[in-house]
Structure 1
């Protein structure tokens, strides 16, 4: 079981590396493609666009596949997109390849989260999901700084070649160690769509969009913030990015067990801590030591809400959590694109490189407000209706909203 979780986490590691490494290589990418840094920044949005479109689309296409087969298909497409980034010429080709690489992002992470929950059983769902998603955080300790270094030394495309190899290794691990888990009976695409429309699922996804946008309003511009405001050298940026990843990993280790004990309070506390950290970041960014410290803190609190929200949405979707789990990553990448855009609006308006921190704090507060409202509405028994099975399936969904259905949490082995 532990090896299977590691294989799933390796896929998340590759995904996290390809998503974030470009942020540390924007000057090199811009120079290599002969475009401005601002134009190169649109490649971040291209990947996010792929995630937003691909998560529900690929999940819908893969509803007839077993989860292991779906994971392998998603990883194959991921490898294709990253290898294409290495070889395609021109800005337009790279833009298209980044969209392709992003397509399986949410679908893979959603399916991997469900498999992790199914492997360990209901008592440790949040911890297991956090362990898989820790691949994203470890990517920021190892993958992103290493990829940034490789890109600076051997050319920016080298980073994406390494990511493609990592994707192949993850596929080999999934093929070898992840068992072929049974799908819940009577759950098809219609059931998944109905579950996605549940009030608590929609509110959870909206919380992810606003709360996580606060992180990306700052993180998208962390490199110029550190160099222009904190006075750090370009060579120090990969080190600080690694420290940011260390903070993310520490936050994941702490939040997973907390969420298993008290899911909603953990979400509230994470969003509240994020808003406070962003506000303090605004004051701290002008000095090197405080900028580094708050970057680590921002990593710890900023990504702490990821696993709890993933588990909450999976639970509220009942016996049809696949599409909802994948759509959560679409929501996170809408936050990625929206946060980057809003942060850029503040900078373009002449408010300075520190302005995204204030914008991010406001977004985090909005996310917290939505989460609190969702918690209050969750006491309404009318929202605990079951999701109907597909017509003719002969199997109605009897799972309540407080847990993933029995087929989704049954311990394997």
Structure 2
């Protein structure tokens, strides 16, 4: 992993947990033997309310690291994301009055996620590490907090390395070009990093030619002493087939085709006709999506549909745009999750013929004033114990080539606020659900 110091005075002396963190990252060395990636130290991304001790950009994830200095060494730290921290059984009291230091860490991670989404950066998951010191022997975290991609730990080299590997699990490595855009979005001073330097830290080489574009020119063979090798003997020509063999093959193929048609006709005639009013529509295929788990959070399917006409399923300005720029496929799914409380998630995937259309659609979808695409809940696809609507939902979008994904998440039995960091974490993980075929 390569370290890049971005503070106002990179040579300034650092103390406390920040010094422990830098020491841990420095022990890994450059390259990909241990982790790879780029660690930006002491940086302040646009929109962040405070400098961050580190932003670690990995080929398969982004990690925001926030340091927290405890009053002194501790044997046991109880560190829930919601509720007061306790040090060796005593409530943690800080000079700034903040009872739960994880709040500012989650706020910083959420702000960085929103910035990367706003700039259409590669949709890598953004996780959080809260580094505590001067020393903590044991940290206790609720299981739900771990599933949200948050780790609280003392930044020893091995503990940091284990957490970084656990949190960087994106389905494909980020390319060097995408990494340059991401790093530049965090801090413009990283523009000096070259693609070669990023490839050396494990990012995918987006410049290497594909095999399909490689030259197919034949390279002459040479002997050990440098002389051209003699040509290889030509392969023996196949024997001439008898003229009656193709005719026999055609006859057998014809017989097989007749038998196949007869079998299909018999099976179709035996199939009972579907009664009228059954709700079957040729352009609609309803099927439950598979249950999926992302970062330990289970997404339980509650309904899905597939259409090829997006216009009638949209509203507002977006509906008119889709009528003028038809999609090629629309898949809408509903999920239920339990992250401390029960939540409902709508995932809409809209496919287009080319990436330019998809990019324009995403820009409109990000603007709530432009309308949107109906969730299945608006069309009566509810379930027992589900929400009544997706009003005031936490929303997020991502684009993968020609496909745009729109995610909306709400609490089922309580008020939803668009600034809810827990729902934002659920929506971010829903962006990484397996795309429908």
TM-score tier by shorter-chain length is: under 0.3
TM-score w.r.t. length of structure 2: 0.23
TM-score w.r.t. length of structure 1: 0.24
Larger Rg: 2
Which protein is richer in strand relative to its size? 2
Q: Highest relative contact order (Cα 8 Å, sep 6+), 1 or 2?
A: 1
